[in-house]
Amino acid sequence: MTVHDDSHPESDDQDQGLFSLDTSVSSRAYVAEIWKRRDFALSLPIEELQSSHKDTLFGNIWHLGNPLLTAGVYYLVFGKFLEVSRGIDNFVVWLIIGVFTYQLTSGTILGGASSIASRQGLMRSFRFPRAIVPISNMIGELLAFAFQFLVIVIFAFATGVGPSRRWFLLPVILLIHTAFNLGGSFIAARLNDGFRDIQQLIPFVLRLAMYASGVMFPLDRIIGRNDLVDWLVRLNPIASLINFYRWMILGTELNVATSALTVVESLLILWFGFRFFKVAEYKYGQP
């Protein structure tokens, strides 16, 4: 059976083997195109990571040095000077887990938004699926997080936390976390391409989300005062994502229902973000 092409009834394009570059492809074909360029998506952030500290004396040591110093400052201020515990065992490790894992989310979303603007030249020179741009940004953020995670482990071991069987779940936790981050990054990228004002607003949204995610202090401090706030905090997948890591390393409580909801929310955000980004595929990088 032959399928008749109604759009060009009079033309003989099929015989000539001509096709249009302008047609939007199915999600499946789009993902296949991305997969074909996986080496490109991977080498772009690695290249930038390698050249990011080239003008410094210590060079690549800074990838580890930066998170080490960040954690060191928290240790000095909260652990030694203020001796804050906020009712939590090992508050310093609890805090740096929150700070670094939240940084992975905020960095991926903010970077996704700005990358669609900063990669204009690349997009105008070469034809490739534009989703590569936020994806390679996400890979770059994950690479930076690898060093931060190492620092978390160093501080955990130094304060007497041992490894446990829960650690085997790290890949699963990272996968769920990345699904959420990438979905958010796709949404931010598309919005920022339409309105460059978004890039200025995102840091404030992320700052607000940080307070609603229990990064610096436990959520019970803000829960129970206002129904709307309670409701938002309970639905907030970031708080739950951060708690996955705290559960894994420190053995804090894990609510099964909340965790299941977080998995569903993260996958939904990725699915929606991908579709939302792809719809405007041809617009990215246009003059």
Partner 1 sequence: MTELSVRVTDLHIEFEVFSDRRAGLRQRLATQEGSGRRVIEAVNGVSFETRRGEAIGVIGSNGSGKSTLLSALAGLIKPTSGEILVSCEPKLLGVGAVLLNGATGIRNIRLGCLALGMSSEELDSKVAEIVEFTGLGEAIDRPLKTYSAGMRARLHFAISTAVQPEILLVDEALSVGDKEFRKRSRAKIESLLANAGTLFLVSHSTNEIERLCTRGLWLEKGKLLADGPIGDVVAEYGADT
- Contacting residues toward partner 1, per CB under 8 A: 13, 16-22, 36-37, 39-40, 43-44, 47-48, 51, 54, 120-128, 282-283, 285-287
Cα–Cα distance measured from residue 127 to residue 213, given in angstroms and rounded to the nearest whole number: 39
Nearer to partner 1, 60 or 164 (CB): 60
- 102 neighbors 238 (Cβ within 8 angstroms): yes
| Structure token pair of residue 26 | 């199915």
Dihedral over Cα of 201, 206, 207, 212: its sign: positive
- Residue 154, classified by CB atoms within 10 Å of its CB into exposed (0-12), middle (13-18) or buried (19+), is middle
Q: Would you say 153 and 74 are in contact if contact means Cβ atoms under 8 Å apart?
A: no
Check: CB of residue 265 under 8 Å from CB of residue 180. Answer: yes
Of the two residues 124 and 221, which places its CB atom closer to partner 1 in the complex? 124
Decide whether 98 or 285 has the Cβ nearer to partner 1. 285
Distance CA 231, CA 134 (A): 30
d(CA 233, CA 242): 13
**CB-based burial label for 101 (10 Å; 0-12, 13-18, 19+):** buried
Shortest separation between residue 51's beta carbon and partner 1, angstroms: 4
In the complex, minimum distance from the CB of residue 32 to partner 1, in angstroms, rounded to a whole number: 11
The residue count of the chain comes to 287
Tell me if residue 110 falls in helix, strand or coil: helix
Closer Cβ to partner 1, 69 or 279, answer by number: 279
> In the bound complex, what is the minimum distance in angstroms from residue 76's beta carbon to partner 1?
34
Tell how far CA 177 is from the center of its chain. Answer: 7
Query: CB-wise, 119 or 177, nearer to partner 1?
Result: 119
Distance CA 206, CA 93 (A): 22
Q: Residue 80 has what DSSP assignment? A: I
Nearer to partner 1, 26 or 253 (CB): 26
CB of 140 to partner 1, least distance (A): 13
Residue closer to partner 1, measured from CB, 15 or 253: 15
Q: Least distance in Å: CB of 22 to partner 1?
A: 6
* Minimal distance, residue 36 CB to partner 1, in Å: 6
Shortest distance in whole angstroms from residue 257 CB to partner 1: 44
